[in-house]
Amino acid sequence: MTPAARAAAAIDILADILAGEAAEARLIRWARASRFAGSGDRAAVRDLVFDTLRRRRSRAALGGGDNARALVIGALRDDGIDPDTLFTSDRHAPAALSPAEREAGRAPSPAEAADLPDWIAARLAADLAGDFPAIAQALRDRAPVWLRANLARGTAAEARQALAAEAILTEPDPRCPGALRVTQGARRIHGSAAWLGGLVELQDLSPQMACAALDVGPGTTVLDYCAGGGGKALALAARGARVTAWDAAPARMRDLPARAQRAGVRVTLAPARPTGRFDLVVTDVPCSGSGTWRRTPDAKWRLGEDDLARLAALQAAILDEAAARVRPGGTLAYMTCSLLRAENEDQIAAFLARQGRFALDGMRRMTPLAESDGFFAAKLVALNDA
């Protein structure tokens, strides 16, 4: 594909995403329908779409409109490319620019340059104080790729060596043993023998750090109460914990048995809402995802204030349900991939006010300033019986 054809494809894809289709699903649909597109084309179109969604407001200003075509015009200007060189009306190229389109476009205002909806920017500015401008800027860029060396299959050094043999280069991180930052070859991970053989899992640094901070070992009974695809369940099972996985939408756990098999660990899927008590109950609750908007940039523009209120109520309900599953002396771990106080510190304060039998045993907010996703983790200890 020529650069012009890639721009045309990005316009079609963005139009459907702006109309409501999920970005990832739309890109997969395009790739399936575009057999002529090689891996380089797919990567380039994906990057153009995702970069543009991350920077939608500033690119709308540069392109003179918040529609797919203007956004791609803005993206090219953002990258220092004159859109007239690609918008030529040639075969597979977008139609030539009209005089009005050539005139439209201006430098983004400071609010537009933060690339956030105004109501979210106001909340994050209040919640993150002096860190807000740098975090907003970080959310405009691509996220680094992190792997977790699966200690159930081998050491981190062995994982690095196996990856390097397939030209996937990684760096260990002193903040978290087993965390590997991918510096080269990220797009090859899913086809690699290291990944297929369970030596590594894709997992951001911050959830790895949150799981590493939990005190588990062989025999610890763990209930992952919001297991989903099982990222936390697998990390804890790799350390020998006896993990039971539950999710209110069990279909979300459909990949978990295969992932556990690949990782060489055992995770038991609960057939019904679990009863009984566990040493550790993990609640990785549904949230705004504001800490991971670099990876899911379309979500940044979809979240509404009513969504946030609904999520906060659900998070409180899940915490209360899960609290009943913690044995006396056990731990309730609360996690979100959010940067918003309403889903994090405020949620924990309200829980402690409601549930007298729990005490706070530390909480931590991680942000993209530390190269990880934005993430929040709190540990709550059950002092006595319910």
Ligand X SMILES: C[S@@+](CC[C@H](N)C(=O)[O-])C[C@H]1O[C@@H](n2cnc3c(N)ncnc32)[C@H](O)[C@@H]1O
- Which residue numbers belong to the known binding site for S-adenosyl-L-methionine? 247, 284
- Reported as type and span, the H/E element at residue 68 is helix 68-78
Token duo for residue 103: 């005139």
| Binding residue positions | 247, 284
Instruction: Give Cα 165 distance to the centre of its chain.
Output: 28
Which residue of 185, 286, 295, 341 would you call a contact of ligand X, by CB under 6 A? Answer: 286
Per-residue x/- marks for ligand X, 239-258, CB under 6 A?
--------xxx--x------
d(CA 85, CA 87): 6
Our CB check for ligand X shows the closer of 132 and 225 to be 225
Our CB check for ligand X shows the closer of 114 and 235 to be 235
Q: Is 262 in the site for ligand X (CB under 6 A)?
A: no
Q: How far is the CB of 324 from ligand X (least distance, A)?
A: 12
CA distances to 5, 89, 287, 335 from 16, rounded to whole Å, are: 17, 21, 24, 32
Please check whether residue 241 is in contact with residue 221, taking contact to mean a CB–CB distance below 8 angstroms: yes
Token duo for residue 25: 């699903």
Of the ranges 63-71, 79-87, 278-286, 369-377, which one interacts with ligand X (CB under 6 A)?
278-286
Which residue of 4, 5, 138, 226 would you call a contact of ligand X, by CB under 6 A? Answer: 226
Token duo for residue 363: 């909480």
Please check whether residue 348 is in contact with residue 360, taking contact to mean a CB–CB distance below 8 angstroms: yes
Q: Is 343 in the site for ligand X (CB under 6 A)?
A: no
Our CB check for ligand X shows the closer of 58 and 315 to be 315
Name the residue number minimizing CB distance to ligand X: 231
Q: Cα Rg for the chain, rounded, in angstroms?
A: 23
Q: Which residues are catalytic?
A: 337
C-alpha atoms less than 13 angstroms from C-alpha of 359 in its C-beta half-sphere:
6
Per-residue x/- marks for ligand X, 300-339, CB under 6 A?
--------------x---x---------------------
Residues interacting with ligand X, by CB under 6 A?
Answer: 225-232, 247-249, 252, 284-286, 314, 318
